[in-house]
């Protein structure tokens, strides 16, 4: 269960003041003083009941003038302060099941019904509306290799709770898991997101709660796509890099992507099977288990 932060403050801060204050001392969620400082400023920002509406109206009025590529706004996330050192600030919109966008796009488009952990810590504040519901779980990240279907015996249910207005919480990276349920009415949360250089190499998972298994890694980075494209294009350098990454890259996820890229070059099932057999013994549990799956698929094809 994310850590509920009991912190009251009557002051109001603008978005600019909030960014300046957090940027001035940084945001380290593992440091209690830093965490309390960021939480205090998020509370103060949340006390400003007008700023988000003002931003949305301004954007609606001006948006036709924006360069599309500069626009960081999606249907669910409003980027309030872009990445700045160790953090960024965003607002998240949580539609209710009655809303057209949920009926048209389905709950999973809004992360509803997709149990997941996070590969980053973040502060969240219920800002508007009744708040989304979550079934909260915890698990032990260190026990997991990350292959699909891997049993997660440490996954345990904690409680169902709602991010009520004014509730302030810290979601802990690689600890807290939640399956979100739609808000009863349109709701908004404000987040201070922690960012770090290592984050991209630490995996975020989707879970199968009924089977208590890893469903998939849901935090692929651009490196996997670049590697697959480069290998597909077929230069000697790309192939050499893929062979080295497949055996020695510190990220098991990228090792697997390298094996996948190399396997994608092989047309004959026998050659693919030989490659995956080699992958099985290449020193990564995640790769070995995924390789077994690939070989079983080949055998059944
Ligand atoms: Fe989440």
CA–CA distance, 89 with 223 (Å, rounded to integer): 25
CA 243 to ligand 1 centroid distance, Å: 35
Same domain, 177 and 289: no
pLDDT of residue 70: 47
Same domain, 22 and 94: yes
CA 218 to ligand 1 centroid distance, Å: 12
pLDDT of residue 64: 62
CA–CA distance, 203 with 194 (Å, rounded to integer): 15
Same domain, 187 and 40: yes
Compute the mean pLDDT over every residue in the chain, rounded to the nearest whole number: 93
Which of 157, 190, 217 is a domain's end point?
217
Same domain, 230 and 181: no
Which of 160, 191, 217 is a domain's end point?
217
CA–CA distance, 278 with 262 (Å, rounded to integer): 12
Same domain, 50 and 186: yes
CA 27 to ligand 1 centroid distance, Å: 19
Instruction: Give the distance between the most distant pair of CA atoms in the chain.
Output: 69
pLDDT band at 65 (very low <50, low <70, confident <90, very high): low
Average pLDDT of the segment spanning 269-282:
96
Average pLDDT of the segment spanning 61-81:
68
Same domain, 248 and 210: no
Same domain, 273 and 177: no
CA 209 to ligand 1 centroid distance, Å: 15
CA 55 to ligand 1 centroid distance, Å: 24
Same domain, 10 and 78: yes
CA–CA distance, 264 with 231 (Å, rounded to integer): 9
Q: Which domain holds residue 265?
A: 222-300
Same domain, 167 and 276: no
Same domain, 108 and 227: no
CA–CA distance, 85 with 23 (Å, rounded to integer): 7
Count of domains in the chain? 2
pLDDT band at 198 (very low <50, low <70, confident <90, very high): confident
CA 9 to ligand 1 centroid distance, Å: 26
CA 134 to ligand 1 centroid distance, Å: 9
CA 179 to ligand 1 centroid distance, Å: 8
CA 178 to ligand 1 centroid distance, Å: 6
CA 69 to ligand 1 centroid distance, Å: 26
Same domain, 195 and 145: yes
Same domain, 173 and 239: no
| Tokens representing residue 115 in the block | 């149990």
Question: Is the model's pLDDT at 67 over the cut of 70?
Answer: no
pLDDT band at 170 (very low <50, low <70, confident <90, very high): very high
């Amino acid at each position: 269960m994310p850590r509920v932060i009991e912190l009251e403050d009557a002051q109001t801060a603008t978005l600019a003041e909030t960014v300046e204050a957090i940027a001035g001392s940084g945001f380290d969620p593992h440091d209690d003083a830093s965490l309390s400082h960021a939480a205090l400023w998020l509370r103060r920002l949340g006390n400003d009941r007008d700023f988000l509406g003002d931003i949305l109206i301004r954007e609606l009025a001006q948006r036709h003038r924006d360069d599309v590529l500069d626009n960081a706004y999606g249907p669910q996330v409003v980027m309030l302060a872009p990445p700045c050192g160790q953090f960024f600030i965003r607002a998240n919109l949580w539609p209710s099941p009655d809303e057209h966008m949920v009926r048209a796009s389905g709950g999973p488009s809004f992360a509803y019904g997709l149990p997941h952990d996070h590969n980053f810590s973040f502060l969240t504040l219920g800002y508007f509306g009744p708040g989304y519901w979550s079934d909260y779980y915890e698990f032990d990240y260190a026990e997991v290799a990350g292959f699909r279907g891997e049993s997660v015996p440490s996954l345990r249910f904690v409680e169902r709770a709602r991010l009520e207005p004014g509730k302030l919480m810290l979601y802990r990276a690689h600890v807290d898991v939640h399956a979100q349920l739609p808000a009863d009415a349109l709701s908004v949360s404000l987040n201070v997101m922690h960012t770090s250089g290592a984050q991209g190499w630490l995996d975020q998972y989707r879970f199968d709660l009924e089977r208590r298994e890893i469903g998939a890694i849901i935090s692929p980075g651009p490196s996997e796509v670049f590697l697959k494209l480069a290998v597909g294009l077929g230069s000697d350098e790309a192939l050499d890099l893929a062979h080295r990454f497949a055996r020695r890259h510190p990220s098991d996820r990228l090792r697997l992507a390298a094996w996948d890229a190399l396997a994608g070059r092989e047309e004959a099932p026998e050659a693919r099977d030989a490659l995956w057999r080699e992958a099985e013994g290449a020193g990564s549990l995640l790769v070995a288990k995924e390789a077994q799956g690939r070989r079983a698929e080949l055998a059944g094809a």
